[in-house]
Structure 1
Amino acid sequence: MKKIHHAVAAAALAALLPVAAQAEGHYVPGVEGIQAASAPPPGMYYLGYLVNYDINSFRAPGSSDNLPGHNRGTVTALANRFVWMTGTKLLGADYGMEAIVPVMRTSLTINAAGVSDSRSGLGDIYVGPLVLGWHGAQWDAVAAAGIWLDNASTSHPASAGKGFKSTMLTGGATYYFDTAKTVSASGLMRFERNGKNDAGFRHGNQISLEWGVAKNFGTVQAGVVGYSQWQVSDDSGVGASRDRSSRHAIGAELVYPILSAGVFLKGALYKEVRAEAGTGAYPKGTLARFTLVKAF
């Protein structure tokens, strides 16, 4: 009987892994940091986020303890973000729209669930018809809304898709401590309401908070950054529990502008200092991010 229970638990865990390899929601924290809540002026922009998430352990469902055995993973993604700030005013803000098209490579080795899989492919696409950016003498603020689609594959544990749609709402602010704007603090919060997958399972809603405190050193910016992510409602459906996941990370970021080319280069490294699993297995690791911002 004990062997049967272990087999059922492993099967249930494996079924949850495709959506747990990079937390439960679509949004990956750590892609924004310094001045995260400052929208650009009117124009067309491309932002390429190259992210490598090195998973060094998986938390067991409902705890902050690691799964037994050798369990590792790597998620490498290039998120292609396109932003158009139209020049139109709405509610006193600059109005814009955006889209995110991620391409991903995921490798998972999770002996606790009998999983060893690597896949590459197009991830779920984000469409954001509403971006609002306000600008004051020593502050910026942003609000946005959009939908994560469920276009990507979910056929294997390392597939890029989540298998459900999500609505995402964004809000945040940046404050500059001097009129020259050489010292700043920023916070950006995103709320995701997750939909049901084909099996009728729905992950609880999720809040992500990214923050950064920075100082200019000539044209270069450097600062301390971090993120936290919390599940704020219970999962529902077959196999759901009342356990909720969370994670917290801290790191550093460097920003280097190439003004003659209209380009900003950003690099950041984060270490997750705490992670707790909800219904399914939950990753904990380090995240490295390189961002290219190009204004057209």
Structure 2
Amino acid sequence: MKLNKLWAALALASLAVGGAHAKEGGDQYPNGAETWLAGALPPPGNYFLNYFGYYSGDLVDGSGKKVPGAGVDAWFNAFRFVQITEHKILGGNWGWHVIVPLVHQDVALGQGSKSQFGLGDITVNPFVLSWHAKNWHWAAALDINLPVGAYKEGDPRQSIGANYWSVEPIFAVTYLGDTGWEVSAKFMYNIKSSNKDFRPALGAPKMKYESGDEFHMDYLVGKRFGPWGVGLSGYYLKQTTNDKLDGQTIGVGPGGIWSEGRKGEVFAIGPTVSYTTKGGVHFTGQWNRETSAENRFEGDKFILKLIMPL
């Protein structure tokens, strides 16, 4: 089946660009969101977190070259509530969280651009365990992403949600040195269901699109000086299974711009700063520049984050 190159660029990969926390390239997680203290969950209590981010990027093909006329600008604000309890499971404190994002996106294709604003895909996690031992802190969890964001069949420019469920096992670890150094990483594996309402273009018949599963991680190396901290942070994503259309692996795209299975990959790095008040309110800011992208968007991401005990 021959598809218009620019529609294949976004539609074939189910590239809803808003979704949970302004995902790019079909992500239901805002890569790079958890860097400082990624594995050091707070003590028992209730916490509010707010994430504000902006992303701008161009779509790139399987060779890392830009697809003409295909780009995205998006901002998001995600509200997160976390409760860590005194209840112990396997020696770790049990907790849970929920994340509700609002998203505005502007997606451009050769036919023009369209803007959309609304609720993105919501994330719930009924199972979070966290442990602490001297300088080491670690956590295990299971995120569930709910397809509640707006989805427009045949037009990814108007789609905020991904229109599929996904589950994501998580392991995060943080080392806090006695001299102020911190090394943190959060490892995730996203397992996706299929999108049964996929249309390659407006008016085309429905098909079943299966986006490939992905390994991805956030990371940080930083140094604290009193209440301030500075460092380098970023993320890496590697798609591990092929995209499929009606059960068949996606082949090389129109004009040979996509690789077999359309597996995405990207690496990002950039500066970050943190500040913690005497009352325990934690602020972070970061800029991540994406490089070495294939079969997905490549651009710049800015995230401001607030952690506040209630």
Amino acid at match of 1:29: N
Per-residue deviation, 1:20: 5.3
1:254–1:183 distance in 2 versus 1, CA, 3 Å: same
RMSD: 1.8
- 3-state secondary structure, aligned to 2:220: strand
Bigger drift between 33-42 and 188-197 goes to 33-42
Asked if 1:19 corresponds to 2:15, the answer is yes
Moved over 4 A (4+): none
The correspondence for 1:42, drawn from 40, 44, 52, is 44
**5+ unaligned residues in a row in structure 1: which ranges?**
none
Per-residue deviation, 1:252: 1.3
- Do the aligned partners of 2:14 and 2:26 also contact (CA within 8 Å) in 1? no
Give the match for residue 138 of structure 1: 135
Per-residue deviation, 1:18: 5.3
Give the match for residue 106 of structure 2: 107
**5+ unaligned residues in a row in structure 2: which ranges?**
18-23, 197-206, 252-260
Give the match for residue 292 of structure 2: 274
Structure-1-length-normalised TM-score: 0.89
Asked if 1:92 corresponds to 2:91, the answer is yes
- 3-state secondary structure, aligned to 1:151: coil
Per-residue deviation, 1:293: 0.9
Per-residue deviation, 1:46: 0.7
Per-residue deviation, 1:15: 2.4
- Do the aligned partners of 2:13 and 2:243 also contact (CA within 8 Å) in 1? no
Give the match for residue 172 of structure 1: 172
1:64–1:259 distance in 2 versus 1, CA, 3 Å: same
Give the match for residue 252 of structure 1: 271
Q: Where do residues 1-296 of structure 1 align in structure 2 (5 Å cutoff)?
A: 8-16=4-12, 19=15, 21=17, 22-55=24-57, 57-60=58-61, 62-68=62-68, 70-111=69-110, 114-155=111-152, 156-158=155-157, 159-178=159-178, 182-198=180-196, 199-238=207-246, 240-241=250-251, 242-260=261-279, 262-277=280-295, 282-296=296-310
Structure-2-length-normalised TM-score: 0.85
- 3-state secondary structure, aligned to 2:11: helix
Aligned residues between the structures: 280
| Post-superposition CA distance 1:174-229 (Å, at most 9, x none) | 11232x6x111111111110110123211110111111011111111111111101
Amino acid at match of 2:43: P
